A and B are shown apart, each in its own frame.
Chain A
């Protein structure tokens, strides 16, 4: 095992803090509440054209011919372009898989899923563009549709989606062993086995993906407004697709109306809009409509079948985990099996499991490809280990709560290396569990459950004790590949700040607003660092021309990373403030301190200068300061913060290295009632306690927990991208893809917090953006099972729709 790098933490946890830890109202909100958010579709450009795409009606077909003549002849239509037309100037989209799988922004010769763009019309209005799309005539030669992931494994001939990668639809297959697997299973007193099915769902933010591209033929430069989350990280890859140097592409972020992972890159839409703007010589707006987004957003979530086994010793201790997982990746493979890399960061959950055997079989089918959705694969691993924990407790006749507690990694064991090589930096799982039980009044609900049961009502209490890895590094994208490919290992976050001549502060982020609170977080950390009023800080978003190295939000990293960058930049600014103030106050900089918007001499009240006075001096009175070339005019700083704790995997991959160590934890306990006659599940109570280290803003964190919980409930009970045997997406509207409304979620998700600070991050902050969805699905399934114990119902597959639950209840009754 690799050594654990030493901590680079500068701001220690446990300080007395003025702003961090307070529920500051969000600084983003007033403009959002007044309808002035400026989302992508609010961007308008003079002379702008509008694009609409023709979507493939077939799951798998060769494109024989495309006739665009009628569409092109329509008044107001500027261009109608096929994949071949686009490919003359624009190359394949970026792909992190190795070997890559070629994907185009408009299909070239072959369509591989329903909804894939086949042609695109550009017109004076979106209405006209859609009219034109209806006039495009395409002749297809249908190919066999591959839909079932297990049957995809043995598909051959015409059913192979990407023959250039070999005669198989297995995109990736590899088995990994960590720790003494054979010993743990050989010595096991009991092996618990389950076959578990995680359904394909997705982020489905209410704003779709879009881009407004302009191309300046004179300079050869693109300017593109877009709503990607990681534009500073991957913008250069879009430039490669367009065949231009990266500095000829300026990506300008707009506010994003939600992402939940699904806008992580958005490169297809950016590339398409850019290609069209260059061809047409006018600005082009392309915004997915909802059907585009449901069918072809490139960000469907994990779709997995697990054969999972948990070994237990004679003392009921979990020892080994063995899984074979088939994952239906859909038609393309943009992130390779990065999702399984992610899951390996916390695959043993909060439990002392000493070995892991994991075989991954990633298959290609005729569906929209997988991308990112809140959890990025780790939420599935949470579901698997929690379902196994429940199954083990039930088989052993043990209480599900106490069985978990007896298997927890103990507080004194941190930092704790799990078998895969990842590190859990800190934790106190018993404390989170105790707080949850207290808030829920667990004994009280057990008593009520028995009482209700006498009345013929079926109440269940569920539990999930899950990990919430945070602060994504980058090795997960490639470390499971047979040949690594692009073996990136950076995930920095930069920030620049300046103090203007009147003493107000501007911070420029290298990441967008994606629905969370980046401005609020930056404001709170800067107010703390500079001891100034939050009202004196404003936050902007850099475009790629002006951006520093940055990664952007994803993997619950942004709060930790931007805090690190801000601390670094603030330290530079403070040093300069103290130099200038020291000169003004005739004091040594080391004798100075920040106090409430001023710099003063320690121990000398009144001996001080306001930041505004110092700033004016620094900006405009150079000749009043020492003639020292290291002292320059102005007050600004830029700082790039690298991941606080990450290492490379070993060459043989017996140790994946430290790649997701800032480890949060949660306990979710829902109380549900199931109506056995209808299969409806309703919530009577719900407690969610999270430990995300030092709290930055309890109000916004609680917002994430509640929103994530609602999404987890959607995954557990309602949502599915459901494809029929022909590869038609049957849930291609919100009438069929069922997002929970106010009626399907608990009335009050009661949120609690435990704070176990990270020893590695500034102030001890951990990420908390994904947590709710990473815990709710197993907790809800556990509660349903608990409610239906009289029928012996086992929940192995989601979504647990009323119809499916009725089937399970009927089968349970028949067996009884």
Chain B
């Protein structure tokens, strides 16, 4: 009986070593449109360059007392509102130093882009979701 008890204990002990490769909660949560108390987007603008590419510039400020590594994504759309698939629309990172302004610069993947949508997230929470329309 004691032997069986030992076996049961061993099972419990070793079952803890099974590795979980499932990612934790990866679903991002939209708080509000650029309404975070620590990250504030102060300006968002775009322009069409002479070579036809669209350039985006986003200015913001990290109002917290700690350094943050922000993740951002710029999604580009053509004049009909269709998304332009590109490697340039992958999530990227930008540093936001404590109590300092930060800038994000992006260039469109081709000359067909007329609008863009910007997402900024920190710790899986979308803290900015802003669309720039027009040229």
- A and B bind: no
Interfacial residues, chain B to chain A (CB-CB below 8 A): none
Interfacial residues, chain A to chain B (CB-CB below 8 A): none
